[in-house]
Structure 1
Amino acid sequence: MRSPLPSRGFEQHADKLSTASSLPRFRIGKTSQEQIVLAITVLLVIVFGVTLNGFATVSNLLNLLRSISILGVLGLGMGLIVISRGIDLSEVAIMAGSWSIALIEMQQGMAVPLAVLLALALAVFIGIINGVMVAFVEAPPLFVTLAAGFVIYGLAFWFAPAWVVYAPKDAPGLTFLGAGHLFGIPVPILVFAVAAIAMQLFLSRTSVGRFVYAQGDNPEAARLSGIALRPLIVLEYVLVAILAWMAGFVWVGTTGSMQMAITQGTMIFDVVLVVVIGGISLVGGRGGVFSVVVGCILIGTLLNAFTIMDVNSEVQNIIKGVVLLAAIVLDNWLHPRDEETARQGD
């Protein structure tokens, strides 16, 4: 006879799952990781505003927010998959690979709208493959997506053998999401805001969003309660791919090109950093959109200050690594591991 513990564990955490995706509530005496990170960010903004010339200007703060927009959109996708107790290390490769191929097709005469749809179709196809491998083949998501990243890089570079693929200069609509302004606000900031609101509504106002939290909190209990986990997993990886495509759209508009070199850099670890430091637990079932937002703002604040202070990239990587380790330790301290709800299936 199957042990009833998973069902009891699901009931035990029903209240937590129903409120995990709601907007953050600040309560005295119960400090969350998001609140701690937000407080640190406010303190850093005050300190840098007083000590660094040019930091507290409106133009610099807008540039700060603009600089984290792409990272924020990618972070929303990574946050979704980490909440579900998974991970996707191919997200940056999906962004770069799909758009590199689309830009090559534009250079060869394909209409811009068709090429944009081609990039979306490629991204979704890769997301489906990742989801099927994880959900139906039951391969570990870490290795599936790591391998997918290498495959995407190899295929894209074989198809478009150049480190940088440039967008056509006669396509102003292609650059609007990255270089345009609306009501004086850079469009990338608005893209991140709209994506964040949409993800918040998805996680907090839909049954599928609540299923994502249930899956991350206790996959076995979620399965016993009737949630179809395999299709849900495929959907999650498809959503990550769509957000990667959106981030690539902004990237192309901002730089006028797509650089394949970013797939071999540290950008994917920056995405994981903003997710973990914001409060989305690597064991799943915890955190939300607010976690990604505060994580992005903190990292953006640090990087902006480092740029003004002319700190070299090696020192920046060391600091980011230390911050990531501190975030993991803080998460373990605030949320001790629950062996009952940590069960991952049969």
Structure 2
Amino acid sequence: MTSSTKRGIKLDQQKIVLLLFIVIFTGFSVLLPGFLSVGNIVAMLRSISVLGILGFGMAIVVIGRGIDLSLVALMAVPTALVMTLAQVGFSVPEAMILGLLFAAAIGLLNGIFVAYAEIPALFVTLATGLGLAGLGQVGILQADMVPWPHELDSLLWLGGVDIAGMPSSIVILVVVAVCAWLFLNRTKIGLFIYAIGDNPMGARTSGMPVRPIIVLQYVLAALIAVLAGFVMASSNGLMDTRIYNLSLIYDVILVVVLGGVGLSGGRGGVFSVVVGTLLVGTIINGMTILNLTLDVQNLLKGVVLLVAIALDSVLNPRNEETAQQGDI
């Protein structure tokens, strides 16, 4: 057998997940009444867009050998803050700048603790996510559910309108995907992120600014999360900050890991997030049509996530010589 033939039949995790998506989507189309209806497809596309945008933010961090459990809080609270500020008289530019600065500050805090204090990202982002959610619910916001203010109607194009029959949120998802691909594959910083994730000690030895780049990863993830928040809020007509208490963050991790972004760092990319989003979004939609309870859905997603993490550990084994956070 020639090498070209071997290459032709080789299946990596991304191709396997893409095939699974095609099989499951086809099966749901045949077996589930209403799955292919226009209303259901539009609803699925809207939910997939938010999930995918958050997935791109998470992927930037995970490729650099981190994780960000505060993304959903960063999506909800700064977005709700902007909406609240617009309601009480701030201009749109003023409210947007304050909200983005607030989110960037949380991302900066995450990055500094991870890169300079060398605290594991899991604990840092869990703590900031909990703190941010609490601050939103009992501090800076007037209510858990913040309605979309008419003062921000100029931003409805982010997710609240249709373009040629397609939700505008899908267009935003495509734009974010293209920008993320260009950043990770066509910029020096993006290539540095891959190098840091693959071998942080080697990256540091070669002269890369490892710590500032790690901080940048978390700031970018925070800003992407705010964009996802505006897509969700403009689509739904409100922002429910209690979403932090749901399982969305685990869905985001499932998208990233299932798609092939290795938790050991330095692996995967935009296509990984795309195929992971398609598969996870389709499964969630199918379970909703089947009227499975939330507890059953979470159980099934938990099993899938566990299998995905186990598969990741086999396909992308962590190099223990460079696994210690203190190496960077």
TM category (shorter chain) comes to over 0.9
State which of 259, 264, 271 in structure 1 corresponds to 2:240. Answer: 259
Does residue 181 (structure 1) correspond to residue 175 (structure 2)? The answer is no
Whether the 8 Å contact between 2:86 and 2:152 is mirrored in structure 1 is no
1:27 is displaced (CA, Å) by: 4.1
1:187 is displaced (CA, Å) by: 0.5
1:184 is displaced (CA, Å) by: 2.5
Q: In structure 2, do the counterparts of structure 1 residues 183 and 324 end up closer, same or farther at CA, with 3 Å as the change threshold?
A: same
Whether the 8 Å contact between 1:73 and 1:192 is mirrored in structure 2 is yes
State which of 308, 314, 317 in structure 2 corresponds to 1:333. Answer: 314
Higher mean displacement: 104-113 or 65-74: 104-113
The residue that corresponds to 2:132 in the other structure is 152
State which of 64, 78, 101 in structure 1 corresponds to 2:81. Answer: 101
State which of 72, 76, 84 in structure 1 corresponds to 2:52. Answer: 72
Does residue 51 (structure 1) correspond to residue 27 (structure 2)? The answer is no
Secondary structure at 2:69 match in 1: coil
Determine the C-alpha separation between the residues in 2 that align with 1:122 and 1:105.
13
Q: In structure 1, give the amino acid aligned to 2:299.
A: I
Secondary structure at 2:68 match in 1: coil
Does residue 223 (structure 1) correspond to residue 204 (structure 2)? The answer is yes
State which of 303, 307, 312 in structure 1 corresponds to 2:284. Answer: 303
Higher mean displacement: 308-317 or 107-116: 107-116
State which of 89, 108, 116 in structure 2 corresponds to 1:128. Answer: 108
Q: TM-score, normalised by structure 2?
A: 0.93
Q: In structure 2, give the amino acid aligned to 1:252.
A: A
Specify every segment of 5 or more residues in structure 1 that has no aligned partner in the other structure, as ranges: 1-25
1:137 is displaced (CA, Å) by: 1.8
Q: In structure 2, do the counterparts of structure 1 residues 91 and 281 end up closer, same or farther at CA, with 3 Å as the change threshold?
A: same
Q: TM-score, normalised by structure 1?
A: 0.88
1:329 is displaced (CA, Å) by: 1.8
The residue that corresponds to 2:147 in the other structure is 166
Determine the C-alpha separation between the residues in 2 that align with 1:136 and 1:335.
26
Q: In structure 1, give the amino acid aligned to 2:186.
A: R
Does residue 84 (structure 1) correspond to residue 58 (structure 2)? The answer is no
Determine the C-alpha separation between the residues in 2 that align with 1:99 and 1:71.
16
Determine the C-alpha separation between the residues in 2 that align with 1:312 and 1:113.
42
State which of 323, 335, 338 in structure 1 corresponds to 2:304. Answer: 323
Percent identity reads 48
Q: In structure 2, do the counterparts of structure 1 residues 105 and 193 end up closer, same or farther at CA, with 3 Å as the change threshold?
A: same
Root mean square deviation, CA, Å: 1.8
Q: How many residue pairs get matched? A: 321
Q: In structure 2, do the counterparts of structure 1 residues 44 and 256 end up closer, same or farther at CA, with 3 Å as the change threshold?
A: same
Superposed CA deviations along residues 10-40 of structure 1, whole A, max 9, x for unmatched, are: xxxxxxxxxxxxxxxx943432111111111
Secondary structure at 2:159 match in 1: helix
Determine the C-alpha separation between the residues in 1 that align with 2:317 and 2:140.
47
1:189 is displaced (CA, Å) by: 0.4
Does residue 37 (structure 1) correspond to residue 17 (structure 2)? The answer is yes
